[in-house]
Amino acid sequence: MKCRKCGGTASLELRRHNAAFCSPHFIEFFRKQVAEAVHRHHMFTTDETIMVAVSGGKDSLALWDVLIEDGYRTAGLYLDLGIFDYSKESRAKCEAFAAARGLTLHVERVAEAVGAPIPVVQQATRRPTCSACGLSKRYLMNRAALEHGYPVVATGHNLDDEAATLFGSVMHWQTDALPRQSPALASTHPKLVRRVKPLYRLSELETAAYAFLRGIDYIVEECPFAKGATSIAHKQVLDRLEEASPGSKHNFLFGFLDRARPAFERVENVELHECTSCGQVTTGAVCAFCKLADLVKRRTS
């Protein structure tokens, strides 16, 4: 297979674009897609310092790498979930990445914030692990950015992540979740930082290929709690669709963002308050994270 741009040996075939690229031209393609995402959604500027949430996986480290290469000021945030050797190894990957580039890596321990590491939280709450973990991550990302003075948090969500989330929301007609699904969420309260997803135009295969070709040492092993997760089942369904009809995921997500999402936006604005317990933003009196921490405390004491 030949590179579309130079005719050299291709490293990667992108069926949804009906194209193949050699390594240098794929990296150029990747960076252009990120630049397009940043530009289209006014995600951030070179005057701001971006907090990049990193897990040690391919997506978030590829994101950090591409933002550095494009000249943005960045710092990393690693959330230590306390998941046995998986967390130790993923933290080491993030620390090595930051150290090699002389960049700051903030580390927050979930066990310190919620009262127990994720495996204990899962046992104590009997909630799906990914649900408590996702809630904790969103809360801690916002809190850490506020505390350290970063105006924006960037996460490594890719096209496959976003298509799978959309699929899950549509499967259950979660009409309150649909308007919140966006590559860029603005700050709607002084205590809410902007959240952006600069990789939403790139597939999981593309982020993995970029990380590999850039020589990024990322954790290939899967989170032990992700096995059997609903989001994985949704991805597998979409993978089969994509195989039969390349471009399906892209059309599903981009069609939603361009044409369907506005129809789900609420007419009335949601009223935001500060949590009476921690001061972070919530729609009720006490935020979901404080309720989770309280439940963990009661069940583990």
Partner 1 sequence: MKVILRNPRREVDVDGKRRVKDLLSELGILPSTVLVIRDNELLTSDAVVGGDDVLEVRPVMSGGSGAGA
Q: For residues 144-173, which are near partner 1 according to CB under 8 A? A: 155-158, 160-161, 164
Q: By C-beta, is 208 or 290 nearer to partner 1?
A: 208
Helix axes 230-244, 159-171, angle to 10 degrees: 110
Q: Which two tokens stand for residue 22?
A: 């050699």
Q: By C-beta, is 225 or 256 nearer to partner 1?
A: 225
Q: Which two tokens stand for residue 100?
A: 């090699």
Give how many residues touch partner 1 by CB under 8 A: 53
109 binds partner 1 (CB under 8 A): no
Q: Taking a C-beta distance cutoff of 8 angstroms, is the pair 122, 132 a contact? A: yes
Contact with partner 1 (CB under 8 A) among 53, 98, 114, 146:
53
Furthest CA-CA distance within the chain? 65
Entry field: residues in the chain: 301
223 binds partner 1 (CB under 8 A): yes
Following DSSP, what letter does each residue of 71-119 receive, concatenated? T-EEEEEEEE---HHHHHHHHHHHHHHHHHHT--EEEEEHHHHHSS-HH
The span of 171-179, 225-233, 270-278, 282-290 binding partner 1 (CB under 8 A) equals 225-233
Following DSSP, what letter does each residue of 205-259 receive, concatenated? HHHHHHHHHTT-----SPPTTTTT-HHHHHHHHHHHHHHHSTTHHHHHHHHIIII
214 binds partner 1 (CB under 8 A): no
Positive/negative CA dihedral, 207, 103, 138, 118: positive
The span of 12-20, 32-40, 95-103, 106-114 binding partner 1 (CB under 8 A) equals 12-20
202 binds partner 1 (CB under 8 A): no
Least distance (Å) between residue 137 CB and partner 1: 6
Contact positions vs partner 1 (CB under 8 A): 1, 10-13, 15, 20, 23, 53-55, 57-60, 79, 129-131, 133-134, 137, 155-158, 160-161, 164, 197, 199, 203-205, 207-209, 212-213, 220-223, 225-226, 229, 231-232, 235, 239-240, 242-243
